[in-house]
Amino acid sequence: MITGEKIVQWIAGLVHWIYGVFHISNYANLLDIVVEAVVMFAFVAVFVMFLVWMERKVSAHMQSRIGPNRVGPLGLFQTLADAIKLTIKEDVKPVHRDKIPYFIAPIVAFVATFMGLVVIPFDQGVVVQDLNVGVLYVIAITGFTVIAILTAGWSSNNKYALLGGFRSAAQIVSYEVPLVLSLVPIIMITGKLSLNAIVLYQQQAGYWFVTIQFIAFIIFLTSATAEANRAPFDIPEAESELIGGFHTEYSGVKFAMFFLGEYIAMVVSASVATAVFLGGWLPLPFLHFLHLPGFVWYISKVLFVIYLIMAFRWTFPRLRVDQLMDFGWKVLIPISILNILGTGLAILINQGMK
């Protein structure tokens, strides 16, 4: 049976053979890191391309339209055409911008979210780096996007962009708290922060955490949507109010970086959600007989969560900024704290009964 581990070993073998051909096997350790980064980038690029196509098709079918269907079979190459268009577009820059922050902001937006993919377990043993503080690392990295958005808003020298930057900073900072608090019960139950270890715990326990921590799953999903600046929390880029929000003054490749950053943030959040709540690369209990490799399960679960996030966008209107803050601080945080208390009590009772 093909597993993710076997595929990785096969690719590693191929790469080391190529090192041998070029007589650079001495630097294998160093080069491995570079190759891993390149492979991850390629995987993410293809996956995001697929996701953009999926978003357009999902939104089209929800709005009783067809969506892209001309470029390639079923319109699959539409994103490739869009990527080419964005790269050959003229780079229009405002004259009175702040040059260095304006240049850095999209790069930070992309790199920060991309770094979050390091700890995601795609299959048993297929992790770029199985940090034992995996969850902590991912949460810390997602906070970086605030800097990118604020910088973009400020350096554009545009009142709309600045408004968008402020709103986004306030929103992301306030939704970090429920994001973390919803993961705390899981950490309390498993006692580990590493995502791989959490998936293995679910394998041993025989159930997924979504069954016993459903509220935490909902809170995590909502906060993740807010972190990625997606509707119904897409105030920073509210098209009908601020035209483009913080990315009004960006065009071409720079805009593509922001766009990519948003999608990768979505992928990272969905991956963490599947790893922690939906059992990562574990198969569905009653479909075990299909003998599909772990990463197929992983990707289908991630796609399911992303589909949910996309469906939110095209169903709900947008929340106003102060209502958004109210919802984050006054509703989500108390519920997640109550959840932690409840889980703590349950653990104590469980230990007491043993």
Q: What is the contact mask toward other proteins in residues 39 to 68, using x (rule: CB under 8 A)?
A: --------------------x--xxxx---
* Among the listed residues 211, 300, 315, 350, the single contact to other proteins using CB under 8 A: 315
Residue 320 C-beta: closest distance to other proteins, Å = 4
Nearer to other proteins, 12 or 62 (CB): 62
Nearer to other proteins, 207 or 316 (CB): 316
Nearer to other proteins, 46 or 92 (CB): 92
Grouping H, G, I as helix, E, B as strand and the rest as coil, residue 126 is: strand
Which residue is associated with the tokens 């993740």? Answer: 224
Residue 325 C-beta: closest distance to other proteins, Å = 11
Beta-ladder partners of 126: 123
Long-range contacts formed by 89-94: CB under 8 A, 24+ apart: 89/251, 89/252, 89/253, 90/251, 90/252, 91/251, 91/252, 91/253, 91/254, 92/251, 92/252, 93/249, 94/156, 94/157, 94/158, 94/249
Nearer to other proteins, 62 or 147 (CB): 62
Could you say which DSSP state residue 330 is in? I
Q: Quote the strand ranges of the chain, DSSP E.
A: none
Q: What is the contact mask toward other proteins in residues 204 to 243, using x (rule: CB under 8 A)?
A: ---------------------------xx-xx--xxxx-x
Q: Between residue 4 and residue 43, which ones bind other proteins under the rule CB under 8 A?
A: none
Residue 314 C-beta: closest distance to other proteins, Å = 5
Residue 275 C-beta: closest distance to other proteins, Å = 29
Among candidate residues 177, 178, 158, 318, the one with its CA nearest the CA of residue 235? 318
Beta-ladder partners of 123: 126
Residue 186 C-beta: closest distance to other proteins, Å = 28
Q: Is the dihedral of CA 172, 178, 181, 185 positive or negative?
A: negative
* Among the listed residues 10, 17, 27, 316, the single contact to other proteins using CB under 8 A: 316
Could you say which DSSP state residue 282 is in? P
Q: Is 321 in the site for other proteins (CB under 8 A)?
A: yes
Report d(CA 254, CA 239) in Å as an integer.
18
Q: Between residue 141 and residue 200, which ones bind other proteins under the rule CB under 8 A?
A: 159-160, 163, 167
Nearer to other proteins, 36 or 241 (CB): 241
- DSSP letters spanning 296-316: HHHHHHHHHHHHHHHHHHHHS
Q: Is 329 in the site for other proteins (CB under 8 A)?
A: no
Which residues bind to other proteins, rule: CB under 8 A?
59, 62-65, 159-160, 163, 167, 231-232, 234-235, 238-241, 243, 314-323
